Structures are given as C-alpha cells and as structure tokens.
Amino acid sequence: MFKGSMVAIVTPFNNGRLDEEKLKELVEFHLKNKTSAIVPCGTTGESATLSLAEHERVIELVVETAKHRIPVIAGTGSNNTAEAIRLTKHAKEAGADAALLITPYYNKPTQKGLYLHFKLIAENVDIPIILYNIAGRTAVNMLPETIAQLAHEFKNIVGVKEASGNLEQMACVKMLGPKDFLLISGDDTLTLPLLSIGGVGVISVVANIIPQDVANMVEEFEKGNLKKAREIYYKMLPLVRAMFLETNPICVKTAMEILGMCEPGLRLPLCPMDKENFNKLKLAMKDYGLLRKKKK
C-alpha cells in the first residue's frame, strides 16, 4: 500500500495563511500524475512552523480531497511524545491511512528514549506507523537495532523513511527487520540505490514538480528494466541536487513558484533564496526541460 513515488507535499501559503484551495489543487495534481501516496505535514510541508490547528487542518484537507483515491500518510511527529500521540490520534480520526513520525528533534534522546517514545505512540494509536530517521534534522540517529526491535514488537510499526544517507545502515534495517517491513527512501539522491537493497519507494521532494518521472523510475526498476531506471535517475540527479542548494523546502517551493504551481511563501526562519542559488536552480530546471529556453 505504501510504495512507489510518495510525495512529501508542500504546504502552500497566501499572504502568510494556509491556502486551502491551492492545497486541494496540488492533491488533485498528484492524483493525475502517478503519485502513489501523499505525505502532508512533513519537513517539506513546513510542519515546524504550522500551528497545531493548521497542522490538523492540512491533514483534514488532504484526506478530504483524496477521498480514498490515494493513501494519505500524515506527518504527526514531535519532540514532545504527548503531542505526537495527540497529532497521531487526530490523523486517524481524520481518516489518514498511516502516520509518519520523525525521531524527536533537539531533545537528543538515547536509543532507549527513542524506543520508549515510539512504543508509547504505537500502544496508544492503532494506525500504521512509519518511522522517520533523519539525523541531519534531529541530531539523533535511530540505529537499525532500535528500528528492528520496534518493528518486531509492534505490528502497526510498518516501515521507516530512511534519510540517514548511510546505505550500510539502511541495509542493516532491511536485514534485521521483519521480512515485510517497508524500507522507504527519504532522500531523492538515494532512491535507486535503496531500491537495489530491498526498498519499496521514496517519500520524495522532487516529486512535487516531476511526479511522473519519479514514479516511472520506481516502476522501471520494479519491472526489471534497470537500464531505463538508471537513465531516468541520472537525468533527474542534477535537478534533485538543485532542490537542496538551500534548506528544504526553500528550493522546491521556489521551483513551484517559477512553474506557477503555487504562490511564493515561506515562513520564517526560512527565507527567499540567495540570488546565485536561485539562478542555479533556474538553470537546472531549464536543463531538465521544465522551462522554455529563450529563442536566439
């Protein structure tokens, strides 16, 4: 159910407020463009700067718009365990198909603390849970042994979005976890390598602007057409790298603005791109074929 190209959807703002109509348009865009699941309120959705009311409203809107035509994996993580439980309960009540929970950030818990955090959430909310491991954002790396222990003990912990950047660690997760445990890429640059070690797909940033291409790459790999999958991967790679010239989601939101997909709008402390990086982003988009080249 949770595989292929799953988009970490942006949260569109208009004059600083949640743009509900645009969010619904973006959900419909993904429904028409081979996206296999929608993930609202993740890092790319600027969850850190959403109020609790906004966070809940975004999830409700995505679920309501999706109308069970596509799975919704709601971002419900927090560095406050009680808040994570509240958000996860709300996601279930709203009709989300699963919850994505980031490892607690800033607190820097031990492996035991991580285990106890996710244990309590899994015991309190009966919804499929996908762990989200991204030490670059949280300052703590959840070890494969901790992930495997949780996966074996709690049936509703069904997978992990791995963004550690460490393929050896990801392979260990696959080796130690249950056979049906879902290994999902959290880094567009590592999706194809991750598929080769047993991954099932990606929760993607770049799929916000090229959803069909990301979906096609995963599909071609699954069909055994590695040559075609590599071709798509290497075509995408410069554009993917451009998505991270500055802190995500600055670049992807800027790209969407350039493409007319949403209004400009980032919440502080995120800010507009540096001019030099902006020009690099536009060049990557032009080289990919997303922008028309000027006639001589």
Give the residue carrying structure tokens 């406050």: 80
**Of the listed 115, 132, 233, 288, which one is catalytic?**
132
Which single residue is written with the structure tokens 């080249």?
Answer: 293
Residue ranges of E strands in the chain: 4-8, 13-14, 17-18, 37-39, 73-75, 98-102, 129-133, 157-162, 182-185, 201-204
CA 123 to each of CA 33, 126, 127, 153, 227: distance values in angstroms, whole numbers, following the listed order: 36, 7, 10, 11, 44
173, two tokens: 């997760």
Residue 106 is among the residues annotated as catalytic for this protein? no
Between the CA atoms of 246, 4, 145 and 196, what dihedral angle is there, to the nearest 10 degrees?
-90
Beta bridge partners of 85: none
Site of tokens 């009966």: 126
Catalytic residue among 22, 161, 174, 253: 161
Helix, strand and coil percent figures for the chain, each rounded to 5: 50, 15, 35
Give me the residues paired with residue 182 across strands: 159
Rounded CA gap, 264 and 253, in Å? Answer: 7
115 noted as active-site residue: no
Hey, which residues are catalytic here? 132, 161
